[in-house]
Homo-oligomer: A and B are copies of this chain.
Amino acid sequence: MTVLRVGIVGLGAQMQENLLPTLLQMPDIRIVAVCDSDLTRAGQIHRFISEVAITDDFDEMLDTAALDAVVMACPPQAHRDLAIKAMAKGVHVFVEKPPCFTLAELEYLIGAARQAQVVTGVGMNFKYAKPMRQLRDMTRTEQFGKVVHIQLNHYASKPTAPLWGLDSTLRSFLLAQAIHTIDLGVTFGGGELRDIESRVQRHEDSLLVSLELGFSSGATVSLLSGTMFPYFEFDMKIVSSNSMMVELNNLWNITLHEPVHGTSATGTAKRWRGAWQPGPLDSGYERSGYFGELEKFFDAVRNRSPYEASFESLLPTFRVIEQICHADSARADVAPVLALHSTHAAKSPAFLGAQTNVL
């Protein structure tokens, strides 16, 4: 397989904990350059591999490293601005979520990607998590039937203050956390997104978002999320037209409730269901989707084929995010709650600085 030359941007917690270890163990990938506004942090790459150029100047990296692709984990303004630069040079781009702040910015990025004819990707790791792939396979079978409803519960404890220079804690939360679950709703909902209804409840610095989506397929999604929980957790259920329900708990355990189930020692019998759990030694970055998202991105780069979690794929998700913010503002009789600070600053620490893991 072709070896791809990869440049890394932003060597913060999310990169060091999840993306970097995944890249290091991925075949046919070479990390050839690292860019971070903090050169000392960039230099930490040398604890892992020796022959890597480091820089705090993204333009220099683009000019000198002969990159096939960049992988970034930065604040959104950096994702947005550096992605545009990279795409302009024909370099494929993978960014951690969120890729940018607004739907308008996303549309701009999509246009730039189309023009540059590069592959783009966003780190929607939930979508590539191993059990999620099992759910996708299950829900596509004829036996499962049509997806009728998806219930998504995404519990978080942060952010409780605006991130990345934004004014809005709500938008920060949606971009940092709920983006995953909204994207899952869109992914399993199928067809065109038709209806969006949302409600935001607040208590002190915490918020709770209820969301209902309707799709042209006839499927509906209900999502409960927010920062009013003690820690990050996640569960989901999918109901089908064939009276099946599949549950995913903790991104790990799967239960399938189906009208007819049995075992060889009972035959078909009431209230028996199928349960799946991973092996005791299941390890690595497959479960959480970090391996899958990058592996498929690089496949797409090699084959110049579409990548499922492209910038473009996030259009419905960003429409939902805008709509939630808009509806919340309208209710609050408040004019624009969203105002980006320093949206075009370049090469400032705030923007080349590495991403903290917000989950």
**What is A's interface to B at a CB cutoff of 8 Å?**
1, 18, 20-21, 24-28, 30, 47-51, 125, 134, 137-139, 141, 143-146, 148-149, 151, 153, 155, 157, 197, 199, 201, 203-204, 206, 208, 210, 212, 214, 218, 220, 222, 224, 226, 228-234, 237, 239-241, 243-246, 250-252, 255-266, 269-285, 287-288, 290, 359
Contact = CB atoms under 8 A, between A and B. Distances in A.
A265 B141 contact: yes
A280 B126 CA distance: 9
Contacts of A226: 239
B25 A24 contact: yes
B265 A258 contact: yes
A290 B282 CA distance: 11
Contacts of A288: 280-283
A357 to B, nearest CB: 9
A272 B27 CA distance: 31
Contacts of A270: 231
A266 B275 CA distance: 11
Contact of A203 (B134, B148, B151, B245): B148
Nearest to A218: B201
Given A203-B146, A228-B243, A229-B239, A274 B272 contact: yes
B228 A199 contact: no
27 contacts: A18-B281, A25-B48, A27-B47, A28-B47, A137-B266, A141-B265, A146-B203, A149-B224, A151-B224, A197-B197, A201-B218, A203-B241, A210-B220, A222-B222, A228-B239, A229-B243, A244-B265, A250-B278, A250-B280, A261-B263, A271-B278, A272-B274, A272-B275, A273-B274, A283-B285, A283-B288, A284-B284
A208 B229 CA distance: 28
B148 A239 contact: no
Contact of A255 (B275, B279, B284, B285): B275
B208 A148 contact: yes
Contacts of A25: 20-21, 24-25, 48
A30 B276 CA distance: 38
A224 B222 contact: yes
A255 B265 CA distance: 11
A134 B267 CA distance: 12
A113 B25 CA distance: 32
A138 B266 contact: yes
Contacts of A201: 148-149, 218, 220
A250 B229 contact: no
A359 B283 CA distance: 13
B263 A256 contact: yes
A208 B284 contact: no
Contact of A149 (B210, B264, B266): B210
Nearest to A149: B208
A265 B231 CA distance: 17
Closest 6 CB pairs of A and B: A21-B25, A27-B47, A251-B280, A263-B274, A203-B241, A143-B264
